[in-house]
Amino acid sequence: MTLVINYKGKNNLIIAISFLEVSRRTNIDKIIRSLGQVENNLWIQLVNAYAVFSIKHLLLSSYISLKKYLNKELITQNPHIELLVTLTANRQIKEALRLAGISETAKEVFLVVLAVNKPVKHVIEVLKFFIENHGLKEKDVSKFTYNMKAPLIRNITDKELKSTIGLSNTEKIEKNVLMKVSSVYLKL
């Protein structure tokens, strides 16, 4: 199952996400070489599921990356790398790649397609082609729940949690994760 979000406005922003299983037979080096800009205004990125707290976390990071691209405010020069920087709330590209990029040890990943002003059908075709071309196995994205081992959680202090309104500790953690993702662009 693929999650597709289409933000319509001045520019049509499309985010397509698939939850995938990586097998031992998967050629990670080949996959890494095929990430990035596929065509004008369309990028592919694989995100280590270990680095994702929730689907909201991944969606917000993806959306911010596209908006920063359109506003010419990228920290990096590429929206697909910007996604990792935003997701990890870390302005250091090397560290963001280490925390959220894929490696030989990744078991589950998210395939994220970022697009601007592309037909939704085309974005889905690109996503499906990538999955088939690399022999990846799709999982049900709705089965991904809160990942309490996501690295960004370690940056949340007790004081931040106590001062956050929420019905559960998980809700408070998610609010703080989303705040940290949004604040990566603040210049203090």
Q: How many CA atoms lie within 13 A of 187 on its CB side?
A: 2
pLDDT tens readout for residues 55-113: 999 999 999 999 999 999 999 999 999 999 999 999 999 999 999 999 888 899 999 99
Distance (Å, rounded) from C-alpha 186 to C-alpha 188? Answer: 6
Q: Which domains does the chain have, with CATH numbers?
A: 2-183 (3.30.2380.10)
Report which DSSP code applies to 23: P
One-letter amino acid for residue 127 of the chain = L
Q: How far is CA 82 from the centre of its chain?
A: 9
Q: Is this model's pTM higher than 0.75 or not? A: yes
**φ and ψ of 92, to 5 deg:** -85, 110
Give 148-183 pLDDT, tens digit per residue. Answer: 999 999 999 999 999 999 999 999 999 999 999 999
Q: Which residue in this structure is represented by tokens 């999982």?
A: 139
